[in-house]
Amino acid sequence: MHYVSDGHGEPVLLIHGLFGNLDNLKNLGSVLIHNHQVIRVDVPNHGLSEHWDDMDYPTLANAMVQLLDQLNLTATHVVGHSMGGKIAMAIALLHPTRVKSLVVADIAPVAYEPRHQTVFAGLTSLVFDENTSRKSALTHLVSSGIDEGTAQFLLKNLQRTESGFEWKMNLDGLINAYERIIGWDLPISADVHFNKPTLFIRGGDSNYVTAEHRDEIVRQFPQVTAKTLNGTGHWLHAQKPEMFNRIVAEFIEQNQG
């Protein structure tokens, strides 16, 4: 698994969301690195990490634990956004001794209805040929019904080849795994929970974490505190980075040792 590790102090593992890469939480990492060893990963099927035909949260959690072993880290603070938040929660529930504290950004420990059909349709219908450019790719994605901000984010996955462009991410693998990505199926009994400090941060304008998710969050993470960033949507860490970074850094500082 491709990763970047830098800095010294209690380690913090940063895990990005669907279609992202290790640069998504780089801004947060630049704040934490003053007091911590910061590890940013490309989740499998993303960035420069290996391509898997299939992926689910237990397997992804195991991959993250193997990385901790590789880095000789007994336990770490874990921060995850969206899909990365689900990976972080899976590590905490399946491997609780490896997690010092947990920060989950705008996702709940529940199964969701599909909500990326337009994105997948736009990505899969983009034809790469000698005429493809970043501009033409952006035009195609926007004309497919994807808003420009999301389209620009997706195009960070484009990489040049000798003959033009291709996706860095494993699009087929993500499509194959999509039901498990939006699901929440862990091999644990209903009474298993993570009983260490946990922070949920949600975007005030986002519909990813709602009041109906509260009982499941508290059941699985009984030591949870929650904060809402007003004026932000699902991309809260990019929309109000200074506030997001400060909240995360303060929480981790409070739970060191």
- Identity of residue 250: E
* Domain count across the chain: 2
In this structure, are strands 38-41 and 3-6 parallel, antiparallel, or unpaired?
antiparallel
Query: Quick one: 100 and 24 in the same domain?
Result: yes
pLDDT of 64: 98
92 and 20 belong to one structural domain: yes
One domain, residues 8 and 121: no
- Residue-number span of the structural domain to which 138 is assigned: 117-176
Q: Looking at 49, 82, 101, 206, which residue is catalytic?
A: 82
Q: How confident is the model at residue 57 (pLDDT cuts 50, 70, 90)?
A: very high
pLDDT tens for each residue of 63-76:
999 999 999 999 99
Please state the φ and ψ torsions of residue 139, each to the nearest 5 degrees: -60, -45
**pTM for the full predicted model:** 0.96
8 is catalytic: no
Q: What CATH number is associated with residue 80?
A: 3.40.50.1820
**pLDDT confidence of residue 36:** 98
What number is the average pLDDT over the span 170-176? 95
Identify whether residues 170 and 70 lie together within a single domain: no
Examine the residue annotation and report whether 116 is marked as an active-site residue of this protein: no
Provide CB contacts within 8 A for 190, sequence distance 6+: none
Q: Is there a contact between 94 and 188 (Cβ–Cβ < 8 Å)?
A: yes
Tens digit of pLDDT for each residue in 190-235? 899 999 999 999 999 999 999 999 999 999 999 999 999 999 999 9
For residues 194 and 216, state if they share a domain: yes
Answer yes or no: is pLDDT of 108 > 90.
Answer: yes
- Residue 130 pLDDT grade (very low, low, confident, very high; cuts 50, 70, 90): confident
Which of the following is catalytic: 36, 81, 234, 237? 234
Query: Which residues, listed in sequence order, are joined to residue 251 by a DSSP beta bridge?
Result: none
Q: Are 179 and 188 in contact (CB under 8 A)?
A: no
Task: Band the pLDDT of 132: cuts 50, 70, 90.
Answer: confident
